[in-house]
Amino acid sequence: MKKIFLVGSLGLLVFLGSLQAQSDDRGFEIAKNLEIFSNVYKQLNLNYVDDVDPGKTIKVAIDAMLASLDPYTNYYAESQMEDVKMQLLGQYGGIGSLIVQRGDSVYISEPYKGLPADEAGLKAGDRIVAVDGQSTRGKTTADVSAAMRGQAGTNVTLRLEREGKEFDRTLTRREIKLPNVPYYGMVGDMGYIKLDEFTSDAAKHVREAFVNLKKDHPAMKGVILDLRGNGGGLMNEAVDIVNIWVPKGTLVVETKGKVASKNLKSYTRMAPEDTEIPVAVLIDGSSASASEIVSGSLQDLDRAVIIGQRSYGKGLVQNILPMAYNSQMKVTVSKYYIPSGRCIQAIDYSHRDENGKALKVPDSLKTAFKTKSGRTVYDGFGIEPDVEIEPQYMSNIAIALTQKFLIFDYATQYYRSHKAIAAATDFEVSDDLYADFCRYLKEKGLTYSTVTERVIKELREISTEEKYNGAIEEQLKAMEATLEREKEDDMVKHRDEISEMLKSEILSRYYYDQGRIEGSLKSDPVVQRAVEELKVKN
C-alpha cells in the first residue's frame, strides 16, 4: 500500500508541476507580449514622421484586441460614460428626441412625449441647422446626438428649419429615462405588454402593467409579452419578469465562466402575480440576451407559448469592470444556461474561418434537452418558437418609400394640415387619404428599381461582353417594358402594406410611440396569432 501511495503521490506532484509550468509559461507569454507592445509604441513615438496621438492610437489598439474576442467585450473611455449609462440604465442627459440623417442634414424624427424637445415644440420633420452655433451640415446623427447630450440642467440652443423658416429654441437638458414599457393595453380579451429594453426597473414596470391590466379588466383571459426587437439588458430584470408568472424559488438562469465567483444560479425571489393565466411571448431575430432568458426559461418551464421567429442566440453574460482614469470595460465573463440546462449561444467566437469570421455552432454539436413536461428543445441556435410565423419582408416599393422619406414627409405634411385625427385604435387610412398619397407620390416623381431590373441590367452587361447582346436585346427590352407596367400597379398590389406604414407614421405625429404601437395591434399577424393561441389555452 505504501508503494501505491508513493507512486500516486509522485503522479500528483508531476501533475501539479505540469500545471505550474503551464501557468509560468502563460505568465511569461503575457509579460513578453506586453513588453513587445510597449516597445512598439515607444519606437513609434520616437521615430514616426508625425506626432502620434497616444489616446487615439492606444484606444484603437485596445478596440482591435477586444474585437478579436467577441462583439460584446468593449472598452469605454471616460468621455463615453454617457453611452454606458444609456446602455445599462436607459437614461442620459439630453433633450429626448430621435433624430435621422438625410443627405448631409439631420432632422428630428420623433420627439418623446413630455420631454424637453416635445415641451419646446420640436416636431418631426424639423431640420437641425446648428447646435450651440455649430453648423450640423455634413455631420452624422452620432455627431449631432453627442452635441445635444450633456449634463442635466445645462442648456443647449438649437437652430431649426421648418417649412423654409429658421428659428431658435433653447432647451434645458434633463435626465432622460426612456420608458422600457412604452405601451400596455388590451387586444380583445387578452392583455398586451410591449417591453423595449431590460434596463433598470423593467421588471417593476412590466409587473405594474400586468397588475393594472388585471385590475382594470377582471375578465382578461391571457397576456401577451412582446419582446420583438428587444436586444436585452440586465439579467436580474429578466429573472424578475419571469417571476411574475412562476413561483418563488424557481431556477431561471445559471451562469458559468472561468471565475468561480461569476458562476451563479438565479432563482425567482418574490411571490408571483399569477401562475395560472395563459402567457404568450413574442420574439424575432432581434430578440436577444435577456429577451432569450425570459422566453427560453418560460418555454423550458412550459409556462408560456413562444410565438414568432427564432431569436438571435446570445448566451453570453457581460460585467462592467472599473478601469484606470474613470474608464470602464465591459467583459464577457460567462455563458448563461436556462432551466432545461441548455445554452442558446448561436455563434462560437473561439473558432473562426480563414477570413476571421466567427462560426455558428454546427448542427452536429447541438444537443437535445427536455422542458419541465418532457418536450424536446435544443441548444446552440437561439430560442426556437413553439409557433413559428414567417417573417414579413418589405416590397420594393415600400423600401423605396422608406429610403426616400416619402412616407415620413407626407405624414409631416398631413400633420401640419390636420389639427386632429381619430383615436389610435380607430384611425385608418381611408380611400381618400390613400388616393391623396398617390397624387403626392406622382408630384414627387417616385422612381425605384427592383431586383429583377437589376438582374436584367447585369444580364445586358454580361451579354454585351460575351457578344450575345444583339441576339437577346429585344427580349430584354420586352421584359423591361413588362416590369414597368407591373410597377405601375404596385401601389394597388401593395396597398395593405403601404397603408399600415402610412398609418404608423401619421399616428406617431399625434400620439407618439404609444399611438404607433396601439394602432398596429389589430393588424399585426403575430399578435393576432398569439390571441388565437391563448384562446385555445382557456
Q: What are the tens digits of pLDDT across the range 18-64? A: 555 556 677 888 888 889 988 988 999 899 999 989 888 989 999 99
Secondary structure of 137-174 as H, E, C letters: CCCCHHHHHHHHCCCCCCEEEEEEEECCEEEEEEEECE
Q: Average pLDDT in the 130-144 region?
A: 96
More reliable by pLDDT, 8 or 201: 201
More reliable by pLDDT, 76 or 156: 156
- Label residue 485 by pLDDT band (50, 70, 90): confident
d(CA 416, CA 438): 18
Nearest Cα to Cα of residue 19 among 9, 7, 8, 27: 27
pLDDT of residue 433: 98
d(CA 426, CA 415): 17
Beta-carbon contacts of 467 under 8 Å, excluding residues fewer than 6 positions away, are none
- Label residue 277 by pLDDT band (50, 70, 90): very high
Q: Is the dihedral of CA 446, 450, 453, 458 positive or negative?
A: positive
pLDDT of residue 172: 97
Q: Is the pLDDT of residue 227 over 90?
A: yes
Q: What are the tens digits of pLDDT across the range 351-395? A: 777 777 877 877 777 899 999 999 999 998 899 999 999 999 999
In angstroms, the first-to-last Cα distance of the chain is 69
State the pairing for strand pair 305-308/387-388. parallel
pLDDT of residue 20: 58
d(CA 432, CA 411): 15
Q: Average pLDDT in the 231-248 region?
A: 96
Q: What are the tens digits of pLDDT across the range 418-449? A: 999 999 999 999 999 999 999 999 999 988 88
pLDDT of residue 23: 60
Q: Average pLDDT in the 484-495 region?
A: 90
Query: Which segments of 173-210 are extended strands (E)?
Result: 174-177, 183-187, 190-194
**Long-range pairs, 378-381, Cβ under 8 A, ≥24:** 378/342, 379/342, 379/343, 379/344, 380/313, 380/342, 380/343, 380/344, 380/345, 380/346, 381/310, 381/313, 381/344, 381/346
* Active centre residues (catalytic): 289, 300, 314
Q: Average pLDDT in the 77-103 region?
A: 79
Question: Minimum mean pLDDT among 5-19, 238-252, 273-287, 451-465: which range?
Answer: 5-19
pLDDT of residue 406: 97
- Full-model pTM: 0.87
d(CA 401, CA 408): 9
- Label residue 168 by pLDDT band (50, 70, 90): very high
Instruction: Report the mean per-residue pLDDT for the chain.
Output: 91
SS3 17: helix
Report the share of the chain in percent with pLDDT over 70. 93
pLDDT of residue 2: 44
Nine-digit cell string for 514: 404609444
Q: Average pLDDT in the 442-469 region?
A: 88
